[in-house]
Amino acid sequence: MKELEERIKKDGRVLGKDVLKVDSFLNHQVDPMLMEKMGEEFYNRFKDAGIDKILTVESSGIAPAVMTGLKFGVPVVFARKHRSVTLSDDLYTSEVYSFTKKTTNHISIAKKYLSSDDTVLIIDDFLANGQAVNGLNTIIEDAGATLAGIGIVIEKSFQKGRQMIDKAGTPIYSLARIKAFENGQVVFEPEND
Ligand code: 5GP
């Protein structure tokens, strides 16, 4: 998505070897016009996949996920993060190691919001090592729901997540794919169709 790449070049800041800060339009201040266009992109890519629910993780996945849900006309469920979860019969839970915070969180979704009838599209803000996607996938499997696809706003293709998802064969669409950070600059993969 050209507009997103331009925005990353203009406003993104590379921190260290492998973190991109995009607080001005995605992770703190949110640009709703850009989010809406992202929702449209995800809709166009996955509109024939029978999606009836969007799943994400709080908090930065929520903005793009809601815009995507709006385009599909389906509900959006965000998994909640907790340091620890007192096990409850009413929750699906899984563990997620946070790449940016270097801590392990439990994520949970109430059973009443996900069932074996659901065909799910996962949306998240970043794909790094694939931990968040893995955690959501565990919950989807526990619920007996179907994972139809994964939509990522910013993929860092040089980390492990993309390869893991490709290996599993799940359809994935990333709006911006970062090949590398070189001298503090972002280098994108050639745009996918
Ligand atoms: P993963 O679970 O794929 O290892 O990492 C994805 C999660 O970590 C995303 O939900 C996002 O919150 C966070 N994350 C990973 N890499 C970055 C990054 O470079 N910048 C920001 N802002 N968040 C990131």
Which DSSP string do the residues of 25-59 spell out, in sequence order? IIISS--HHHHHHHHHHHHHHHTTS---EEEEETT
27 inside domain: no
Q: Virtual CA dihedral for 86, 136, 55, 90, nearest 10 degrees? A: -30
Amino acid (1-letter code) at residue 138 = T
What CATH number is attached to the domain comprising 74?
A: 3.40.50.2020
ipTM of this complex > 0.90?
A: yes
How much distance in Å is there from the Cα of 131 to the middle of ligand 1? 9
Domain-embedded: residue 108: yes
In angstroms, what CA-CA distances link 121 with 1, 10, 45, 110, 173? 19, 29, 11, 17, 11
Dump pLDDT digits (tens) for 113-166: 999 999 999 999 999 999 999 999 999 999 999 999 999 999 999 999 999 999
- Determine the structural domain holding residue 77 and report its residue range: 36-178
Ligand 1 cavity residues, CB under 6 Å: 19-21, 27, 57, 60, 99-100, 124-132, 161
Instruction: Please give the pLDDT value at position 84.
Output: 63
DSSP state at residue 136: H
In a domain, 51, yes or no: yes
| 187 is a domain residue | no
Domain presence at residue 21? no
Q: Is 164 within a domain?
A: yes
Domain contains 7: no
- The total domain count for the chain is 1
**Cα 104 to averaged position of ligand 1 atoms, centre (Å):** 13
Tell me whether residue 145 is in a domain: yes
Listed as ranges, residues in the chain with pLDDT below 50 are 193
